[in-house]
A and B are shown apart, each in its own frame.
Chain A
Amino acid sequence: MDIVSLSYYDLLLGSSLIIFLSVFSFLGRLKIEKQLLVSAIRTTVQLMSIGYILKFIFTQNNMILIILISLVMLFIGAREINARQKRKMKGVKYFFISSFSMFVSSFLLTILTLYFIIETTPWYEARYAIPLLGMLLGNTMTGIALSLNFLIDTTIKNKQIIEQRLLLGQNKKEVLLDIRKDAIRNGMIPTINSMATAGLVSLPGMMTGQILAGNPPVTAVMYQILIMFLICGGTGFGVFITVLWVSDNFFDTRLRLKLNQFT
C-alpha cells in the first residue's frame, strides 16, 4: 500500500488552525494565544528534531546509543514529574524516586516486552525499542505526576487531621491509608478510562499511525492492545511505588510530619 507523505506545505496548512485559534484568543481576551503559539512551535521543533535523531539511531541500531538516548528520555521524564507538581519536592531524593519508578514502570517493562513478547532480533532493535519506551514513559509519567500531585497536596491540606490521628496512637500506615488509596486511584483513572473507551470513543494514536502508515488494521489493533496493557501495568506499578515511597518520606523518625520539604 502506498503511503501518502506529508509536505511542509501540508503542515503549514495544519498550523493555520493554531493561528486562527490564537486570533480568537486575542480577540476574546482569553490570553492563551502566546502559550498556544509557543507550544505549537515547541511541538514542531521537538518532533522534527526527534525525527532526525530517530532516523540516525535507526540506521545505526547501536545498543549503547539506544541505551544512552533511553536514559536521557528517562531522566527528562523524572524531571518532568517534579516540574508538574503544584508543590515542588525539594532534594535529589525525590528525583531519584521518580527516576526509579519510571525505570521500573517503563524501562524494565520495555526490555521485558521486547525480549519475551515482541521477540525482535536483536532484542534492542531501535525501531521497536525507542517508540515503545517513549509511549510507556509518556503515559506512566502522566499517571505518576497526577498521583503525586494529589498525594502531596492532599497531605498538606490535611496536615491537622493527620496529626490528630497520630495523637490517637495511629501509625504511618493507618494515617495515610485513605490518602494513599485515593492518590493511586487518581493516577490510574485516566489509563483505565482510556482502556474502557478505546475503539468506541477514540481511536488510539499509535494504532491510527500504523494504519495511516499502511499496516493492516488487525496488526495495528494487536499492537495497540499490547501497548494499552503495558501502559496500564506500567502506570500501576509506577504509581504504586512512587506513592508508597514518597509518602513514606512525609515523616521523620519520630513520626512527625515534615512537610516543609515541599514548596
Chain B
Amino acid sequence: MISIKNVFLDNLNYPISFKVQPGHCLGIMGDSGIGKTRLLRVIADLEESPGIITFNDLDSYQYDPTVWRSMISYLAAESLWWFDIVKDHFISRNSLNLEKLHLQKSILSKPVVELSTGERQRLALLRLLNHNTPEVLLLDEPTSALDDNNTKILEDYILSLKTNSNLPVIWVSHDLNQIERVSDRAIKLTTNKVIEII
C-alpha cells in the first residue's frame, strides 16, 4: 500500500493525504496547473515537499532514491529520448510486450525522430517497465497522444498489470470518462478542497 500524508503543494490551501491499496487505482483530476503533476513528482521523490510518503509502512527516505524510483514507477506526461535509436533505451529486449500495445518489433530499430507521438507514448510505458520493477504505478496522462482504439489498448494493458501484479496505481487524467473506466476511486483537486468524484 502507498500512503501520502500531509503533502503540501503551492496552489492548494490544504495538505493532501490519501492511500492506495494494492490492486486499486486512484484517479486524480483537476484543472491545469493545480498541481497534479507536481504531486506525482513529489511521490516519485523528484521534488521535495513537506509531508510523508510511505510504501508498505516504510518512509521514502528509508529507501535509496534509485530503489524508490524503480519501485514507485512514474510515467511522465511527455516522453523524452536521449539516444538516436529506440532500442538503445531498453536494457533487455526480451519480453517487451510490444505486440500487446500493437507495436511491431521492427520499431526498436527505428531512429527516435521517426516515431509518432503515440508510438513514443506507448514505448515510454514499455521502457519504464523494462528498467523498473514497479510496485506502484504513477501515470500522468498516459494516453493523451493516443486515438480511441490505442487508448483502449493501453488502458486494458495497464489494468491487467494492476490486477496481475496487484499494483496500486495513481492515474492522472483530464478525461472524466477515462477516470470512470480505470479508477476504483477518484478525486478532483481544487484550490480549497479535495472533491471525491468516485
Contact = CB atoms under 8 A, between A and B. Distances in A.
Nearest to A175: B82
Interface string A145-183: 000000000000010110111111111000000100000
Contact of B66 (A160, A164, A170, A178): A170
A169 B45 contact: no
Using C-beta atoms within 8 Å of the partner chain, give the interface range for chain B.
Answer: 20 to 34
Contacts of A164: 76, 79-80
A171 B131 CA distance: 12
B65 A255 contact: yes
Main secondary structure of the interface of A (DSSP, over half): loop
Given A254-B48, A256-B45, A166 B82 contact: no
A256 B80 CA distance: 18
A141 B131 CA distance: 40
Contacts of A171: 66
Given A167-B46, A169-B132, A255 B66 contact: yes
B80 A161 contact: yes
Interface string B12-23: 000000000000
B76 A167 contact: yes
A166 B69 CA distance: 7
Contact of A256 (B47, B73, B79): B47
B74 interface: yes
A256 B82 contact: no
Contacts of A178: 82
A157 to B, nearest CB: 12
Given A161-B80, A255-B65, A167 B47 contact: no
B127 A168 contact: yes
Contact of B80 (A160, A170, A254): A160
A171 B47 CA distance: 16
B167 interface: no
A256 B48 contact: yes
Interface residues of A, number: 17
Nearest to A251: B65
Interface string B78-96: 1110100000000000000
Contacts of B65: 166, 254-256
B198 interface: no
B66 A167 contact: no
Contacts of A167: 44, 46, 69, 73-74, 76, 128
Given A161-B80, A254-B65, A168 B128 contact: yes
Nearest to A253: B65
A168 B80 contact: no
B67 interface: yes
Contacts of B190: none
Interface in B145-179: none
B70 interface: yes
A169 B69 contact: yes
A166 B46 contact: yes
A161 B82 contact: yes
Contacts of B67: 169
Contacts of A170: 66, 131
Contacts of A158: 82
A167 B124 CA distance: 11
A261 B5 CA distance: 29
A169 B73 CA distance: 9
Contacts of A161: 80, 82
A167 B48 CA distance: 15
7 contacts: A164-B79, A164-B80, A167-B76, A168-B69, A171-B66, A178-B82, A256-B45
Given A167-B69, A168-B70, A168-B131, 7 more contacts: A161-B80, A167-B73, A170-B131, A178-B82, A254-B65, A256-B46, A256-B47
Interface of B: 44-48, 61, 65-67, 69-70, 73-74, 76, 78-80, 82, 127-128, 131-132
Interface of A: 158, 160-161, 163-171, 178, 252, 254-256
The 10 closest A-B pairs by CB, nearest first: A169-B70, A168-B131, A255-B65, A161-B80, A254-B65, A164-B80, A169-B66, A161-B82, A171-B66, A167-B74
